[in-house]
Amino acid sequence: MFVASLKGKRVLVVGLGLQGGGIGVARYFAQHGCIVTVTDIKKHNELSQSVDALSKFPSITFHLDGHREADFLNADLIIKGPSVRWDNALIQIAVKAGIQIAMETALFVKYAPCKTIGITGTRGKSTTTHTIYQVLKKLYTKGQVYMSGNVPGACALELLDIVTVKDVAVLELSSWQLSGFHHEHVSPHIAVFTNIYPDHLNYYPTMVEYEYDKNAIFQYQSNEQVFIDGRKIQSSSHHDHNAQCAKAACIALLGSSYSSSIDELLRMVPGLPMRQQVVGQIGDITIINDSTSTTPIALETALKTFTDKPIILIMGGNAKNLPYRGLISTIQSSTHIRKIYCMPGSFSNEVIDHIHGVLIADFELLVRTAVQTARELNEPSYLLFSPGATSFAQFKNEFDRGTRFNTVISDIIK
């Protein structure tokens, strides 16, 4: 067992976060007899919910509001969070000191006895992961099916305590998580690469580095393992493309005799929250929550999806140094967009003059104004909330942003 050799050892968890992954990592090592230190640059009050979730473990010490060099040099093992860069000065000090540094999901794939299906891509990885999981839950009968990776509240390491050789783990994998796969020289048994577009260029110097990390999903596969390259799959829509990728992965595990059963289930799998999700109807206005749209290409995709009715668009937030000329062109040539409202942020500042957007700082006022504008059209329309940018100018993350949008819409409907 992987953790058996670490009993009594000092484990440093770098990055507690708010989505639950850091909680699971710290809990896993604490439950297996390790002396755990958790460090994060965020302050205690920002992480109080995560800290409280670990309060029953006396072997966990919290060093928040910044990192301490001594923590990095005194550890036997460092578990690096996805958003912590490998070239971080303290990580590099630990590397030079010969201290083992690893990432949670890569360790799971390395040591798990079960088969793993990994999914990555700039767009569609969450939906494709969810779809594969839902289909296999119905059709795979040899063992249990689990979902983890880049999923809020999930910790892949904790699955090591329960998975068996007969089980299957379906893993959504971000480029940051996949960087750890390079260090462990591992890839999933079945790898799905949905697509690639410019993204995270506020983290990666160029697309070359971004794509290099993505490629870890298949780079270390053996000859008998399966790589599904969604970049070569032609489809009529974003939704259809995700479904085809999911079907190919399910067939790779189950066999082609399951093809018709997979097709039937694919028609029944519900969409994920905040991904082009219809969340309500106000008169003739259909409300779409696409808060997980954090890149210009994601917003472009949404605009090309909803083309049968006029659109009142809410967009904007902070930039990620991504190209947006294609989005500007799509907006300028659109015959469906009637009005654009922008949330504050650096991305909004860059594009607002090109798209004749209206900036409204107060979020509730912005949403209510957009609804009123849609009402004044006096015809069936979409209110499309698809930011095309990160949420950090106003919100904790894109899920906090989407939840706030839903709350305002619910209040309006009431």
What would the mean pLDDT of 12-32 be, rounded to a whole number? 90
Q: Was domain 105-266 assigned CATH 2.60.40.10? A: no
What would the mean pLDDT of 281-290 be, rounded to a whole number? 97
What would the mean pLDDT of 82-100 be, rounded to a whole number? 95
Residue 211 structure tokens: 């794509």
Indicate the range of 3-12, 171-180, 250-259, 345-354 predicted with least confidence: 3-12
Q: Is the pLDDT of residue 181 over 90?
A: yes
Identify the pLDDT of residue 196: 94
Identify the pLDDT of residue 284: 96
What would the mean pLDDT of 83-100 be, rounded to a whole number? 95
Residues of the chain with pLDDT > 90, as a percent, come to 88
Q: Is the pLDDT of residue 330 over 70?
A: yes
387-404 pLDDT, tens digit per residue, is: 999 998 899 899 999 999
Q: What is the CATH number of domain 9-102?
A: 3.40.50.720
Residues of the chain with pLDDT > 70, as a percent, come to 99
137-162 pLDDT, tens digit per residue, is: 999 999 999 999 999 889 999 999 99
pLDDT level of residue 6 (50, 70, 90 thresholds): confident
Q: Is the pLDDT of residue 74 over 60?
A: yes
What would the mean pLDDT of 64-84 be, rounded to a whole number? 95
What would the mean pLDDT of 30-47 be, rounded to a whole number? 93
| Domain layout of the chain by residue ranges | 9-102, 105-266, 277-413
Q: Is the pLDDT of residue 1 over 60?
A: no
What would the mean pLDDT of 269-280 be, rounded to a whole number? 90
User: What is the distance between the alpha carbons of residues 148 and 159, in angstroms, rounded to a whole number?
Assistant: 9
Q: Is the pLDDT of residue 298 over 80?
A: yes
Average pLDDT, the chain: 94
Identify the pLDDT of residue 33: 93
Identify the pLDDT of residue 271: 82
Identify the pLDDT of residue 19: 73
Residue 71 structure tokens: 């923590």
Looking at the domain 277-413, which fold is it?
Answer: Protein-Tyrosine Phosphatase; Chain A (3.90.190)
Identify the pLDDT of residue 2: 65
pLDDT level of residue 3 (50, 70, 90 thresholds): low
User: What is the distance between the alpha carbons of residues 340 and 404, in angstroms, rounded to a whole number?
Assistant: 19
Identify the pLDDT of residue 134: 97
Identify the pLDDT of residue 293: 95
Q: Is the pLDDT of residue 7 over 90?
A: no
Identify the pLDDT of residue 249: 98
Q: How buried is 372 (Cβ within 10 angstroms: 0-12 exposed, 13-18 middle, 19+ buried)?
A: exposed
